[in-house]
Amino acid sequence: MSGTKQAAPAGSAPRPQQGGGDGPGRRLITYLEPGGLGGGLPTAGTTVLAVAVALVLSSLLVAATGGSPSDAVRALFEGSLGGSTAWSSTLLYTAPLLLVAVGACISTRAGVFNLGQEGQLLIGALAGAWVALRLAVPGPALLLIALVAAMVAGGAWAGLSSLMHRWRGVNIVVSTLLMTFLAQQLVAFAVTTPWLLQETRLGNATVSPQSNKLPEGALLGSLGQYPNLQINGGLLIALLAAVVIAVLIARSRWGFRLTMLGLNPRAARHAGVRVAAMAGAALALSGAFAGLAGAILLTSPVGTNRLQAGISTNIGWDGLLVALVARNRPLLAIPVALLFGVLRSGGGFLAATGVPAFLVDVVKSLLVLAFVIPPVAVAAVRRRKEARRASAQAAPARVPEEAAL
């Protein structure tokens, strides 16, 4: 792509000049970048204070609903880290959360704010289920093909938003978000349509809105043999993906260009970066990781190994929050994904303490705000100080002019 500006064809929308990013989204991305406008000691101190406030508010909410904060914390711990079975559940949730977060880190680094991971995850699960149930491939090859199909489908689904932005200037944030609802309808249609993926009717038995169970060859196994502890293969895939992407971003030419594109598309264009192609590829890669997360959900013991309309259980949204809290750093996303896995796994045990389960979502939201707001607030305060300093320096210069008159 040359840097020369070309006239748009008659009757077509003006071609976007940036890498697929949008104004407010790009500003938010800049604030959340490591070392960006909101970096430094003030941000760290403000973040610690915000997390403390979030924890205090969470305790007050638990107490306001008639529960005991100490009992709620104990239930969360027992349900997520209190034994080998609880650890297994936490690690099973951590794997798809981390994969979605890694994909979000890639697109956000490129300045493209992908809000459609939930839909891309569903499309990945749909493609993985179709391949696993339709292809007669024996052994682990079926699992590998299903995972690859899920990645391709998730990437293609995200790529549609990139094409709409490229051809007609459709806002990527809006299109990726709206396509999530389309993906939900597609999955619901697939699992309620007999000729597509609805489970096989046996005689006069009632069939449920779900697919048949995947064959054994398409299921992810556990690593090693540990009593009551499952370390699923999906976790290894997610950890490997996080490390590889972190190294590529930090050490490779592709990572340098990706970061430059996210920080300043115009400079990246002048440096020879094919802005539209790289931004579109970053969005598609983000969707591919979300699609892979859908296949992990489908093939691991965290679910029923059947495609269902509610298979995602908001993993896509939570994975995006993991990336936000981790400030778009894949390695930092590993412990953050584990924390969100703890909240998911232990959240079901809160009901025994009299605390509503939805309060876990409220706690997650407070923690996310505690990590996201400080860099934005610090950057705003810094800009205001710089504006006042510039105004104070400009004021004396006007005095001689007025005196001369």
Q: Note the pLDDT of residue 70.
A: 83
Tens digits of residue pLDDT in 323-341: 988 888 999 999 999 988 9
pLDDT for residue 102: 96
| Mean pLDDT, the chain, whole residue set | 83
Percent of the chain topping pLDDT 90: 42
In the prediction, which pLDDT does 23 show?
55
Nearest to 242 by CA among 368, 104, 36, 81: 104
pLDDT tens per residue across span 209-232: 999 999 988 998 887 667 677 788
Percentage above 70 pLDDT, the chain: 85
Rounded distance between C-alpha atoms, residue 169 and residue 16, angstroms = 6
| Among 18-27, 294-303, 357-366, the least confident range | 18-27
Q: Considering only CA atoms, which of 75, 28, 88 is closest in space to residue 363?
A: 75
DSSP string covering 30-49:
HHHSTTSTT-SHHHHHHHHH
More confident residue, 343 or 119: 119
pLDDT band at 236 (very low <50, low <70, confident <90, very high): very high
Who wins on pLDDT, 355 or 21?
355
Q: Is the pTM of this model over 0.85?
A: no
Would you state the structure tokens that stand for residue 303, as one six-digit string? 């679910």
pLDDT, tens digit (0-9, with 9 covering 90-100), for 359-386: 777 877 887 788 778 877 887 888 888 8
Q: Are 11 and 168 in contact (CB under 8 A)?
A: no
Q: Which residue shows structure tokens 């389309």?
A: 182
pLDDT in tens, 51-93: 888 888 888 888 887 778 888 788 878 888 888 888 888 999 9
The tens digit of pLDDT for each residue in 155-198 reads 999 999 999 998 988 999 999 999 999 999 999 999 999 888 88
> Which two structure tokens, joined as six digits, stand for 61?
């909410």
Q: Does residue 2 register a pLDDT over 50?
A: no
Environment class of residue 373 by beta-carbon count within 10 Å: exposed (0-12), middle (13-18) or buried (19+)?
middle
Residue 67 amino acid letter: G
